[in-house]
Amino acid sequence: PASPRAAPAAEATDDDSLECKPKPGRKRAASDGEGEDAYAPPSASDSSSSESEADDAGDDDDDDDDRAGAGAAELSPTRRLPAAMVNEMLSRHEAFFGAAGHAKVRAATVVVFGLGGVGSHCAAMLLRAGVAGLRMVDFDQVSLSSLNRHAVATLADVGSPKAACMGTFAAATAPFVRVDARVAMVTAENAEALLAPLEGSDAKPDLVVDCIDDVETKAALLATCARLGIKALSACGAGAKADPTRWCVAPLADAVHDPLAAKLRWALGKRGVTVGGAELALDADRPAPPEAIDCTCVYSHEPPRVGLLPLTDQQIKEGASSFGAVDVDHFRVRVMPVLGAAPAMAGQALASVALCGLAGAPATGKPREALSKKLCLKLLESLRKREARRELGPKVQPVACTWLDCGVDDAEYVVNDVWRGRCAATRRKLDRKPLVLCRWWRSLRPPRPHGCAWPADAPPVGADALICLAPPLADALDAALDAVNCLDKASMTELK
């Protein structure tokens, strides 16, 4: 059956190159699923001025079908479009990022590994954003079962390489983007070659997007990125997830409640790659922590709703290779149930983070799920107790602290948004050990005069005066604050 997008067919060529030269077309009808405003390059039957523009742009007169090679090794030739057309296609992004940010995106080169449910959505949006060059790598083929989540594949693409499918989509959607589609499985041995500059460029890629679902393969790729100094984005588990409110963006070290992220940190550690986030010792002479991999991940902290499907007796008898699985030792063989919308959300989130970062306006996501109201109230009660006993005496109840102007939202903001759920001094994670809120030395509240109570009109203590610390450090800081607060006037002058 013909593809609903009327995209060119994908076939192998002798030189294994992926050529993206879409046939001329017309404005598609709304019944094609693209809407009345969907645009295809003008056909030869259009006005003579359109023909002249197409000829000037260097279009081929040959009407043969487009070709897409499996394992393409060359950069696909780009098709020039009138500048006004390209500018209009990308005008909303330019308005969003501004001229300078948009120019950075247009000059960027990105490599996407894995073109399944997550990677296809991410790659499609990078193409629509008009990056300068995009290398897309995947060894697998489009299957019927992958159509529930793939961004662009249709029934006509079943059996063809996912890389070729995305190359055809690129030709029909953004022919001005240089596309290098590779049908290849990334390994530790070939990862560096797949990260080489695109043809005609001497610069390494600006960004790598890892949408692979196998831990060992992800680790091999990210370890190579760390060695070459290439920034990476990584997608964690999207299978068996459904809740759109549970998606987070964070450094790999801070991804919590995601089994794939935990396994990936372990696999990278085996390869000697530091992911960062380790708790630091309280030692003035401590060595500087090793430089961590520059990897941000998109993950969901939602517990999996379903488990892997069991193998049938026939599958067990015949072996993995007999029912479509790749016969590689570390590849998962059992099937993961997937709601098609979940990988789409992950892929779109990756594209958003990638484009904002490339434009110089990085997105700042929460590194963990929101704190529960119960935990926030517990942190605030501990803070009131600490404040009351430091200011009014060791036996004073927390209710006596009337100068604290902080609520549940303030506690959530300080712990998660400011300090990323970690101790400000040691990086201790809130998940592993308790942390507390306390006042830091640059509080807006003035020092208490020696032997005097706080004046009634003293300004309250707000969220801007709080810090997140491990309990022993908070006690030490309180002692230092108390020493400063009890200084007499002469000592205060000397201190200043």
- Residue 377 binned pLDDT confidence (cut-offs 50, 70, 90): very high
Residue 461: its pLDDT value, please?
Answer: 82
Tens digit of each residue's pLDDT (9 = 90 or more) over 63-111: 444 433 334 444 555 667 899 999 999 999 999 999 999 999 999 999 9
Tens digit of each residue's pLDDT (9 = 90 or more) over 247-272: 989 888 888 788 899 999 999 999 99
Average pLDDT for residues 458-485, to the nearest whole number?
82
- Residue 361 binned pLDDT confidence (cut-offs 50, 70, 90): very high
pLDDT of 366 higher than 50: yes
Residue 186: its pLDDT value, please?
Answer: 94
Residue 213's nearest CA partner among 305, 319, 97, 334 is: 334
pLDDT of 398 higher than 80: yes
- Residue 430 binned pLDDT confidence (cut-offs 50, 70, 90): confident
- Residue 55 binned pLDDT confidence (cut-offs 50, 70, 90): very low
Residue 480: its pLDDT value, please?
Answer: 78
Average pLDDT for residues 273-277, to the nearest whole number?
82
Burial of residue 270 (number of CB atoms within 10 Å: 0-12, 13-18, 19+): exposed
* 23 secondary structure, DSSP code: P
Helices marked H in 156-311 — which ranges?
Answer: 162-173, 191-194, 215-228, 259-270
CB 111 within 8 A of CB 350: no
Pairing relation of β-strands 178-182 and 133-137? parallel
What is the rounded CA–CA span in Å between residue 152 and residue 332? 25
Tens digit of each residue's pLDDT (9 = 90 or more) over 138-173: 999 999 999 999 999 999 999 999 999 999 999 999
Q: What is the pTM of this model?
A: 0.70
Average pLDDT for residues 234-241, to the nearest whole number?
92
pLDDT of 445 higher than 90: no
Q: Lowest mean pLDDT: which of 75-84, 155-164, 386-395, 446-455?
A: 446-455
Of 201 and 74, the structure prediction assigns the larger pLDDT to: 201
Looking at every residue in the chain, the average pLDDT score rounds to 78
